[in-house]
Structure 1
Amino acid sequence: MTKALERRAKLRSDLILAAERMIAERGLAGLKTRDLAREIGCANGAVYNLVTDVDELVLRVGSRTLHRLDAALSAAESAGDPSPPETLVRIAIAYCDFAAENLELWRALFEHRMAADKVLPDWSVNDQLQLFRHIHHPLAQLLPGRSQEQLGITARSLFSAAHGMVALGLEQRLVAVPLPALRREIADLVRAMIDGLASRAA
């Protein structure tokens, strides 16, 4: 790799890390390319020589967030009681804890909107879809009679229910729920859903 390419690669890495810090501190709305350029020591216009646009920059930061979330869910999946119901409960609680500990970066995953005519790149889609394997695997053990398509829908439904509780529970408003209570409520919800699914399957 030439010196010029090495410098560009380092600047690109510095830009993504700076954007990650800025979102973590200010939220997605606080992401400003002018401030980023100043922090990494380049001209404002040079930012767009490192990434295509702000959408790509936010997605690159999101990719880093999703990979850290993936690691947290993997750790939860392999810890403790290996039964599918308890595995799913641990995964849901790990998701809640990750969101609470990385609030603005987690929010940015869902707040970011691309223009209607822009297509989400394959690498970003894959980063998101990979996470569903943590739910899909224990569900497949719990519901062996379901097809892969049915399991995929159930996994998304279970995620949506837990995500909704996390999103509302962590709101810094009147609907906010103390984290220990939120963790208990999420565990109860997941167990209730799993009991219902298992009962219907039987």
Structure 2
Amino acid sequence: MNIVQEESLRDQKKSRRRTLMLDTARRIIASKGLISLKVRDVAEAAECSIGSVYNEFGDFDGLILTVNRETVQLLTSKLRMVPSEDPRAQLHGLATGYLEFAVEHTNLLRSLFEHRMEKNRPFPKDILDMVMEAFALMYSPLSRLLSKRDPDELLLIARTMFSATHGIISLGLEDRMVAVPSPNLRQQLAQFVDAQLKGLSAHA
């Protein structure tokens, strides 16, 4: 075996190990929540040292953030599939799509919003931008329904509507005292979107 072949095998082994680390972290977060994720469990699953996990992702935050990036990418991809022919129907579809994603990936979505960086380090801008990109998907249908509104104002409205949608869903799925019961979430989201559009149209 020559040097090139050896390097190729090492790269393949490293790639498989990284994939296994991510798959393990994702599985633990999805099934048990972010609080249950431990570096040693990831290292054991990948049959490597804890130091190898840190070397691959920089630190524990780096591992979590990589999983969170995948989560927001998956969410955005799902929301981009919502039909856009009818702007009102698109807004309802975005809210429903978010609910469906939250039900299917509850703990992964919580990890995206609940993770706090160690040592009070700032949250990576790229993930914040990705989340804002997902929330801004309501901008296009709103701009068609409220064509006279200022673009900056519309962007703020879009993010506010999605933030409210996220709050309704998050509370509902956690079954908190003030939450909307889970079976009624879809109906309540539809009523929320309609009420928002009615109010916004009245002040267009």
Check whether TM > 0.5. Answer: yes
Give me the whole-angstrom Cα distance separating, in 1, the residues matched to 2:121 and 2:198: 41
Q: Tell me the residue number matched to 2:167.
A: 164
Task: Give deviations 1:166-198, integer Å, cap 9, x for gaps.
Answer: 111111444454433111001101110011111
Superposition deviation, residue 28 in structure 1 = 0.4
- Aligned counterpart, 1:54: 60
- CA drift of 1:8 comes to 2.0
Percent of paired sites with the same residue: 37
Q: Please identify the structure whose Cα radius of gyration is greater.
A: 2
- Of the candidates 185, 197, 203, which is equivalent to residue 182 of structure 1? 185
Distance in 1 separating the partners of 2:136 and 2:113: 20
The runs of at least 4 consecutive aligned structure 1 residues that moved more than 6 Å come to none
**Distance between the aligned counterparts of 2:150 and 2:38, measured in 1?**
46
Say if 2:140 is the partner of 1:137: yes
CA distance in 1, matches of 2:45, 2:186: 38
Q: 1:70-95 deviations in whole A, cap 9, x for unaligned?
A: 122122x217xx32222101110111
Matched, 1:78 2:83: yes
Instruction: Output one character per residue of 1:113-139: Cα deviation in whole Å (capped at 9) or x when no partner.
Output: 114652333432332232134211111
Q: Which moved more, 1:21-30 or 1:139-148?
A: 139-148
Give the Cα–Cα distance (whole angstroms) in 2 for the partners of residues 58 and 161 of structure 1.
Answer: 25
* Alpha-carbon contact 2:136-2:155 (below 8 Å) kept: no
CA distance in 2: counterparts of 1:26 and 1:176, whole angstroms:
22
Q: Which has the higher contact order (CA 8 A, sep 6+)?
A: 1
Contact persistence 1:8–1:50 (CA under 8 A) = no
Q: Equivalents in 1 of 2:128, 2:179: separation in Å? A: 30
Contact 1:22 1:30 (C-alpha < 8 Å) held by counterparts:
yes
Partner of 1:12: 18
The worse-fitting range, judged by mean Cα deviation, of 168-177 and 94-103 is 168-177
Q: TM-score, normalised by structure 2?
A: 0.88
**CA deviation profile, 1:145-167 (whole Å, cap 9, x unmatched):** 22332121111110121111111
Taking structure 1 as reference, are residues 72 and 53 closer, same or farther at Cα in structure 2, changes over 3 Å only? same
SS in structure 2 of the partner of residue 156 of structure 1: helix
Tell me if 1:35 matches 2:41. Answer: yes
> Would you say the 8 A contact 2:78–2:97 is kept in 1?
yes
Residue 30 of structure 1 and its aligned partner are, at CA, apart by 0.2
Aligned residues: 198
Alignment-mate amino acid for residue 134 of structure 2:
L
- Matches of 1:117 and 1:175, distance apart in 2: 30
For structure 2, the residue ranges without an aligned partner over 5 or more in a row are 1-6
When normalised by structure 1's length, the TM-score is 0.89
Unaligned 5+ runs, structure 1: none
